Amino acid sequence: MADNNNILEKLEGLVARFEEVSTLITDPNVISDQKRYVKLTKEYKDLSDIMQARKEYIQCIEGLEEAKMMMGESDPEMKEMAREEAAVCEARIPVLEEEIKLLLVPADPQDDRNAILEIRGGTGGDEAAIFAGDLFRMYTKYCESKGWRLEVSSANEGAAGGFKEIICSVTGEKVYGTLKYESGVHRVQRVPATETQGRVHTSAASVAVLPEAEPFDVEINEGEIKWDTFRSGGAGGQNVNKVESGVRLRYNWKNPNTGVVEEILIECTETRDQPKNKERALSRLRTFIYDKEHQKYIDDIASKRKTMVSTGDRSAKIRTYNYPQGRITDHRINYTIYNLGAFMDGEIQDCIDHLIVAENAERLKESEL
């Protein structure tokens, strides 16, 4: 009962805040301030989940007490019903306690955002580019299974297939909070198509998943952006190489963490519509700056965690794909499975679920509950 009271006391302190936020999000002055309104609606959703868990928790505690009282009844059927009800409540209460403890630990504020997905071929030449293409196909299939929308903003194809680099945006529910676990170096061990003697080669590709910035997250002086247009290359019909639909932006940005002025160069060539390419280039500019400005926050979290499940160094090797053995190993959590074919077809949710469990365990350890 002491644990029950402790949890209820912590929850009680959030009831007043939930009521306050419920009122604020209907205030016209708040609604007109888009940045504040978005922040409050996110807080409202998080508090709503906690309030729902609180409601069920209280119902279980009261149900258990009532069932214990009913066990004193003389009617055998009533006593049996009371025992069954008590058993259900006793099993559910500790589960709810763990759920509530996790809900009370501050989540990554970026988790609900859309994401920018960047895949680059690394060590291994043509084979690395082919593997980057395989990863892109894997994520495309996965996004389709989640009902997310994936749009390519720029791509640089490899000479033998795949991509030297491909950048795309992914929109949907909790995209960044799910895909962030994929950031890092992915290593592949297999016989390349170009290998004539059947030797297994090791190649790598890097994946970066960035939380997509909203227009009000960063301040950009659009008047200082230098725009160039050019003709797109590659396959695509008569439009290619005849219409200057590709866009290139240059922007000088002062890094607030270092004080150094950096020139940011971004190209977008994916669509035949120049205004759409400009819009995507601007989105990537905002995300790049947002990511840089929040690097200190990311580093602070990473420094507190031992396994660095989702916030580790992007240059760290996180996973190996071994084709001869049909094996995938995620080195962060010692996760190994032997269904490489299905995994490369986008069935990666089980691995992500294990990573989420590992991160949640870390978060609970860090909390004071």
pLDDT of residue 338: 96
User: What would the pLDDT profile of 85-118 be if each residue is shown by its tens digit?
Assistant: 999 999 999 889 888 887 887 777 788 889 999 9
Local confidence band at 298 (pLDDT 50, 70, 90 cut-offs):
low
Q: Taking a C-beta distance cutoff of 8 angstroms, is the pair 225, 251 a contact?
A: yes
Residue 369 has pLDDT above 60, yes or no: no
Amino acid at 206: S
Residue 119 domain-assigned?
yes
- Regarding whether 207 and 256 lie in a shared domain, the answer is no
Local confidence band at 307 (pLDDT 50, 70, 90 cut-offs):
very low
- Regarding whether 75 and 15 lie in a shared domain, the answer is yes
- Regarding whether 286 and 302 lie in a shared domain, the answer is no
Strands of the sheet with 163-171, listed across from one edge: 149-157, 163-171, 115-121, 201-211, 184-190, 317-322, 327-330, 335-337
Residue 287 domain-assigned?
yes
pLDDT of residue 339: 95
Residue 309 has pLDDT above 90, yes or no: no
Q: What are phi and psi of 208, to 5 degrees?
A: -125, 130
Residue 110 domain-assigned?
no
Residue 217 domain-assigned?
no
The last residue of a domain, from among 262, 293, 324? 293
Q: What is the extent of the structural domain holding 276?
A: 222-293
Element holding 250 (H helix, E strand)? strand 246-254
Higher pLDDT pick, 170 / 309: 170
- Regarding whether 206 and 301 lie in a shared domain, the answer is yes
CATH code for the domain in which residue 143 is found: 3.30.70.1660
Look at the chain and report how many structural domains it folds into. 3
pLDDT of residue 92: 92
* Least confident residue range of 14-18, 105-109, 161-165, 328-332: 105-109
Q: Give residue for tokens 């247009």.
A: 229
Residue 110 DSSP label: T
Residue 43 domain-assigned?
yes
- Regarding whether 65 and 196 lie in a shared domain, the answer is no
pLDDT of residue 241: 46
Q: Taking a C-beta distance cutoff of 8 angstroms, is the pair 207, 119 a contact?
A: yes
Residue 362 domain-assigned?
yes
* Least confident residue range of 21-30, 257-266, 269-278, 332-341: 269-278
- Regarding whether 148 and 7 lie in a shared domain, the answer is no
- Rg from Cα positions in the chain: 26
Residue 340 has pLDDT above 90, yes or no: yes
Q: Taking a C-beta distance cutoff of 8 angstroms, is the pair 52, 44 a contact?
A: no
User: What would the pLDDT profile of 121-166 be if each residue is shown by its tens digit?
Assistant: 988 888 999 999 999 999 999 999 999 999 998 889 998 899 999 9
The last residue of a domain, from among 82, 104, 126? 104
Residue 165 domain-assigned?
yes
Residue 109 domain-assigned?
no
- Regarding whether 284 and 171 lie in a shared domain, the answer is no
The rounded mean pLDDT for the chain is 84
CATH code for the domain in which residue 284 is found: 3.30.160.20
pLDDT of residue 245: 76
